[in-house]
Amino acid sequence: MELMSGNEAIAQGAWEAGARVGVAYPGTPSTETLEAFALKEGVYAEWCVNEKVALEVGLGASAAGARVLATMKHVGVNVAADPLFTAAYTGVGGGMVVLAADDPGMYSSQNEQDSHYYARAAQVPMLDPADAAEALLFTREAYGLSERFDVPVFIRSSVRVSHTKTPVEPGPRTEAPHREYASDPAKWVMMPAFAKPRRKVQIKRVEALRAWAEECPYNRVERRGGAVGVVCAGSAYQHVAEALPDASIFKLGCTWPLPARALRDFAASVEALYVVEEASEYLAEQVRALGIDVAAFPAGLPLDGELSPGAVRAAFGLAAPEHHEAPAGLPARPPALCPGCPHRLVFKELARMKAIVTGDIGCYTLGALPPLSAMDTCVDMGASVSMAHGFELALAGTEHRPVVAVIGDSTFAHSGLSSLVSTVYNRGGGTVCILDNRTTAMTGRQGNPFNGETLQKRPSRELDMEGVLRALGIEDVRTVDPWDMKAVRRALKEAVAADALSVIVFRRPCVLLERVREAPYAVGEACTACGACVTLGCPAIAKDAETGRASIDAALCIGCGQCSQYCAFSAISSSAVLPNGGTADAAASPSTRSRSVDGGLRAEARGASAIPRISGTGETLADLGGPVAGCGGNAAGAKGGAHE
């Protein structure tokens, strides 16, 4: 017996079933599943460029006879839907399991969609574990189900199942016999002449699946009282069982297809039947479609967000269970870019120039929050580039603010590249900023094609981003160090002034990759409380509520020097005089440590003054003479744009 998260248990179940190939694009709450699978003996696992490619790679491995695990978050299923729907026609070779990890409550997602609808629409069976033990069991057994019915099988989790650790009994691996591949165009070539017969195969399969669902061992009835019966699945079951100890429960382990006869029998055995589910009405709709009367909740069940035992009891008009109230008056802790984040100055300068910024999915989306407030849109992976082109089309012939797309390196590989190809093909203009921090940062620093890191540290080929961009025919491609404020400002100013499409690659590693700390900075007596440094939104910088003076937390500061570039009064330095008259410990000796900018490229060693050099020149900010432009002597003067 050991504790495993749902994600770890799914990986364990796939390994025990003899799965040999794992494919995914990282996305919370699914990411750890393939990471755990990759550590198992006798398996191959890879990060793919996106979920569509992952499913297609998996389908190819399945066709060739291997058992396959493909994992993705709920919005990743959107990307993979094209091959998924056709795979429901072709069927499989070796068993194929697809994890769809939903995110009710949107802890790390842009929407709250319910993957049950995909199972119904594609007519692919879906199993819905309620804890890690079921996640392991259902995944292990899903491979036999996949091969028996010749169809991929969904495992659907939610954030609570994926990330909660519960006891499991891991078992040994059973090597699945390899299914020899034999050419079969009628099964695998989905042109109309072959797809039409496969559609009939699918219809017969669905009939067989519906019959199987009636006897499915993963569905169970827990008999208690006869007054109230509840139909539920997944993590909702845990809340119902705790909140309603006297209710009978029909716990669905298979949520598509539903066991029609068994559900009707259960409904007939209770006085009132309710359906409890999170952020969706899928189950209620499907139960009603079976001709079963679903009772309305006395007080209403929330239609969004995660459930809790308290929310379930409230829906039934029952008192909340005994609990400690959360303390009042706690300070808010909004998310923020890390100290030293290479994205910070890009957003600061975009806000200063009042750009219309079409953003994308990644940790850089935090640039939308105050005090940077430098993002106008964020919809889905790759949308920044496509939407920027749409803005340019709609605003053509008018005086308008510059339109700038901002996208990360991994997201660019995922779907931004195809968006950019379309813009180039249609001779679009505008500016695209690729924030290349050398990793897929937000999901835990995974590899991608533009940093060359593979999941199992296998040999790879790192793509040349600038080479790819120029190969598309983009002439204005430049690379800039995003820690260098003057270089960032200059590059953006020149790019938005150009008529042709321009791309700026802002390249510097995520600070969590190397975790290098230079001597921290400090605020000296010259501070005038202008507030310019505070507008950077660095967690290490605070402002005294009474005096307005800034201070820097040495425990958080990594010595990047970004803030010093915005101080017009030279009050921020690693050798600053502190308000108490002492000097910062950071000034004891100059740092000679260089930081990696891009693989073999290294930034110049920082001297005692810690003044960054400007990309492509020998100048420092001090060489330019005078304070940094745009930083006035008061808080208003320090603000550079309407978005701050």
Give the pLDDT of residue 621. Answer: 31
Radius of gyration of the chain, Cα coordinates, nearest whole angstrom: 28
> Which two tokens mark 175?
């090597």
State the Cα–Cα distance between residues 25 and 46, nearest whole angstrom: 9
State the Cα–Cα distance between residues 644 and 549, nearest whole angstrom: 19
Mean pLDDT computed over 64-91: 98
Burial 543-554 (b: 16+ CB within 10 A, else e): eeeeeebbbbee
Helix (H, G, I), strand (E, B) or coil at 237: helix
State the Cα–Cα distance between residues 557 and 19, nearest whole angstrom: 45
Helix (H, G, I), strand (E, B) or coil at 67: coil
What's the whole-number average pLDDT of the chain? Answer: 90
Pairing of strands 601-602, 596-598: antiparallel
Q: What's the CA angle centered on 28, arms 312 and 344, to 5 degrees?
A: 120
Give the pLDDT of residue 279. Answer: 96
The dihedral of CA 405, 390, 640, 474: what is its sign? positive
Give the pLDDT of residue 510. Answer: 95
Residue 64 has pLDDT above 60, yes or no: yes
Confidence bin at 606 (pLDDT 50/70/90): very low
Q: Say which residue, 613 or 310, is predicted with more confidence.
A: 310
DSSP string computed for 522-582: EE-TT-----TGGGG--TTEEE-TTT--EEE-TTT-----TGGGG-TTS-EETTPBPTTS-
State the Cα–Cα distance between residues 376 and 641, nearest whole angstrom: 13
Mean pLDDT computed over 185-199: 98
Q: Counting beta carbons within 10 angstroms of the beta carbon of residue 281, is it exposed (0 to 12), middle (13 to 18) or buried (19 or more)?
A: middle
State the Cα–Cα distance between residues 303 and 111, nearest whole angstrom: 13
Give the pLDDT of residue 333. Answer: 85
Instruction: Report how far apart, in Å, the C-alpha atoms of 483 and of each of 42, 114, 517, 595, 624 are.
Output: 43, 41, 15, 11, 17
Residue 177 has pLDDT above 80, yes or no: yes
pTM score: 0.88
291 near 268, Cβ under 8 Å?
A: no
Q: Which helix (H) or strand (E) holds 406?
A: strand 403-408
Confidence bin at 614 (pLDDT 50/70/90): very low
Give the pLDDT of residue 590. Answer: 30
568 near 530, Cβ under 8 Å?
A: yes
Domains of the chain: 2-215 (3.40.50.970), 220-315 (3.40.50.920), 344-513 (3.40.50.970)
Q: What percent of the chain has a predicted confidence (pLDDT) above 90?
A: 85
Residue 559 has pLDDT above 50, yes or no: yes
Helix (H, G, I), strand (E, B) or coil at 380: coil
501 near 476, Cβ under 8 Å?
A: yes
State the Cα–Cα distance between residues 314 and 308, nearest whole angstrom: 10
Helices (H), 107-184: 116-122, 132-149, 159-163
134 near 156, Cβ under 8 Å?
A: no
Q: Residue 523's beta-bridge partner residues? A: 572
Q: Counting beta carbons within 10 angstroms of the beta carbon of residue 185, is it exposed (0 to 12), middle (13 to 18) or buried (19 or more)?
A: exposed
101 near 237, Cβ under 8 Å?
A: no
Give the pLDDT of residue 59. Answer: 98
Q: What's the CA angle centered on 195, arms 192 and 198, to 5 degrees?
A: 155
Which of 396, 409, 506 minimizes the C-alpha distance to 450?
409
Give the pLDDT of residue 321. Answer: 78
Mean pLDDT computed over 2-17: 98
Cα 178 off chain centre by: 34
Other residues' Cβ atoms within 10 Å of the Cβ of residue 179: 17
7 near 32, Cβ under 8 Å?
A: yes
Residue 487 has pLDDT above 50, yes or no: yes
DSSP state of 377: B
Can you state the percent helix, strand and coil of the chain, rounding each to 5? 35, 15, 50
Give the pLDDT of residue 575. Answer: 52
Residue 576 has pLDDT above 80, yes or no: no
Residue 623 has pLDDT above 70, yes or no: no
Instruction: Report how far apart, in Å, the C-alpha atoms of 347 and of each of 100, 631, 634 are.
Output: 33, 16, 21
Which of 160, 166, 32, 31 minimizes the C-alpha distance to 107?
160
Residue 578 has pLDDT above 60, yes or no: no
Instruction: Report how far apart, in Å, the C-alpha atoms of 405 and of each of 292, 325, 356, 493 are.
Output: 50, 44, 8, 14
Q: Residue 321's beta-bridge partner residues? A: none
pLDDT tens digits, 387-412: 999 999 999 999 999 999 999 999 99
State the Cα–Cα distance between residues 223 and 385, nearest whole angstrom: 55
Confidence bin at 216 (pLDDT 50/70/90): very high
State the Cα–Cα distance between residues 365 and 351, nearest whole angstrom: 14
Mean pLDDT computed over 239-264: 98
Give the pLDDT of residue 629. Answer: 30
pLDDT tens digits, 135-171: 999 999 999 999 999 999 999 999 999 999 999 999 9
Give the pLDDT of residue 591. Answer: 32
Instruction: Report how far apart, in Å, the C-alpha atoms of 88 and of each of 81, 123, 141, 148, 178 are.
Output: 11, 7, 19, 14, 21
Q: What's the CA angle centered on 8, arms 4 and 14, to 5 degrees?
A: 125
Q: Say which residue, 82 or 627, is predicted with more confidence.
A: 82
Amino acid symbol at 281: E
Give the pLDDT of residue 587. Answer: 34
State the Cα–Cα distance between residues 339 and 360, nearest whole angstrom: 21
State the Cα–Cα distance between residues 30 and 72, nearest whole angstrom: 6
Helix (H, G, I), strand (E, B) or coil at 605: coil
What count of Cα atoms within 13 Å lies in the side-chain half-sphere of residue 500? 10
Residue 639 has pLDDT above 60, yes or no: no
Query: Would you state the torsion angle of the CA atoms of residues 378, 384, 387, 392, taken in this order, to the nearest 10 degrees?
Result: 120
Residue 259 has pLDDT above 80, yes or no: yes
Residue 212 has pLDDT above 90, yes or no: yes
